Amino acid sequence: EVQLLESGGGLVQPGGSLRLSCAASGFTFINYAMSWVRQAPGKGLEWVSLISGSGSDTYYAQSVKGRFTISRDKANNTLYLQMNSLRVEDTGVYYCAKGLHRIYFDYWGLGILVSVSS
Amino acid sequence: QSALTQPASVSGSPGQSITISCTGSSSDVGSYNLVSWYQQHPDKAPKLIIYEVTKRPSGVSNRFSGSKSGNTASLTLSGLQAEDEADYYCCSYAGPNAYLVFGGGTKVTVL
């Protein structure tokens, strides 16, 4: 059974940093691209970032480019999102998602809340 | 990259069919057959219901179907049921720079 479990969220001040983790199990981690998708309170979904199965290719939404870094640890089957220079508008629930044919998200975690506020 | 345009809400009676549109541009929906749809119930993670415009993942009801014409993709829900009441989001590949873009979401209400 595929499971994705996010951790590392919380409250941070504007300009601060957080690192999200997503522990994956139930599938061969290195064979699949992974993404982060976020949802601001009461708003729609926004794709944030994608990393290929090998980790060699990464992609970012324009809204986070230069501030966020996606990475993966194949030894520990874990996906990461390093978030720097956080802004109030980065507040929301962040989902980790497994890629189907890279760009479709066939399994999702439960999500983790990130709140950016002074 | 602007979000894809979806109607804010669509409603229908049980047993009816409804269609949700997703309008993009020649940079995304119009150029690639790489559109997906997600269903999200309140306080739940989204669920993939359509990918590559028309394909259904294993286990997804055949009451869901997808199509595309020009810059607009569509999701049709047939035989509407109470459990279909949820938010629905389209998503499209948008080229190597923007990469992926979601629609703003459509709330489906079963009357």
pLDDT tens series, chain B, 111 aa: 568 999 999 999 999 999 999 999 999 999 999 999 999 999 999 999 999 999 999 999 999 999 999 999 999 999 999 999 999 999 999 998 889 999 999 999 999
Q: What confidence score (pLDDT) does residue A62 get?
A: 94
What are the φ/ψ torsions at residue B96 (nearest 5 degrees)? -70, -20
The distance of B6 to chain A (nearest Cα, Å) reads 11
- Residue A113 structure tokens: 């809340």
CB A20 within 8 A of CB A9: yes
pLDDT for position B19: 98
Hey, what are A4's tokens? 């994705």
Tell me which residues of chain A have a C-beta less than 8 Å from any C-beta of chain B.
35, 37, 44-47, 50, 59-62, 95, 100-101, 103-106, 108-111
Report d(CA B40, CA B63) in Å as an integer. Answer: 16
Instruction: Note whether B7 and B106 are within 8 A (CB).
Output: yes
∠ Cα A93 A23 A32 (to 5°): 95
**Which residue, among A1, A22, A43, A45, would best test binding to B if mutated, counting the most B CBs under 10 Å from its CB?**
A45
List phi, psi (to 5°) of A99: -90, 135
Summarize the confidence of residues A34-44 as an average pLDDT: 97
With an 8 Å Cβ cutoff, are A50 and B91 in contact? Answer: no
Test the A interface: residue of B100, B101, B102 with most A CBs within 10 Å: B100
Q: Indicate if the pLDDT at residue A52 is higher than 70.
A: yes
**CB burial of residue A55 (10 Å; 0-12, 13-18, 19+):** middle
Residue B97: predicted pLDDT: 87
Q: Residue range A73-93: average pLDDT?
A: 97
Q: What is the pLDDT of residue B29?
A: 96
Q: Are A105 and A37 in contact (CB under 8 A)?
A: yes
